[in-house]
Chains A and B, each alone.
Chain A
Amino acid sequence: SQQGEEDPQALSIQEGENATMNCSYKTSINNLQWYRQNSGRGLVHLILIRSNEREKHSGRLRVTLDTSKKSSSLLITASRAADTASYFCAPRGGANNLFFGTGTRLTVIP
Chain B
Amino acid sequence: KAGVTQTPRYLIKTRGQQVTLSCSPISGHRSVSWYQQTPGQGLQFLFEYFSETQRNKGNFPGRFSGRQFSNSRSEMNVSTLELGDSALYLCASSLERGGYTDTQYFGPGTRLTVL
Interface residues, chain A, with chain B CB atoms under 8 Å away: 30-31, 33, 35, 40-45, 48, 88, 95-103
- A33 contacts which of B33, B42, B56, B103 (Cβ < 8 Å)? B103
The distance in angstroms between the C-alpha atoms of A100 and B29, with both chains bound, is 21
User: What is the CB-to-nearest-CB distance from B105 to chain A, in angstroms, rounded to a whole number?
Assistant: 7
Q: Please, which residues of chain A bring their CB within 8 A of the CB of B33?
A: 96-98
Interface residues, chain B, with chain A CB atoms under 8 Å away: 4, 31, 33, 35, 42-43, 45, 48, 50, 55-56, 58, 88, 90, 92, 94, 100-109, 111
- Known contacts A88-B43, A100-B43; is-contact A41 B109 (Cβ 8 Å): yes
Residue of chain A at shortest CB distance from B3: A42
A43 touches B90 (CB 8 A): yes
Interface of B is mostly: strand
The distance in angstroms between the C-alpha atoms of A42 and B23, with both chains bound, is 13
A96 touches B90 (CB 8 A): no
Chain A CB count within 10 A is highest, among B42, B101, B103, for B103
Residue of chain A at shortest CB distance from B58: A97
B106 touches A43 (CB 8 A): yes
User: What is the CB-to-nearest-CB distance from A11 to chain B, in angstroms, rounded to a whole number?
Assistant: 17
A42 touches B90 (CB 8 A): yes
Q: Please, which residues of chain B bring their CB within 8 A of the CB of A99?
A: 45
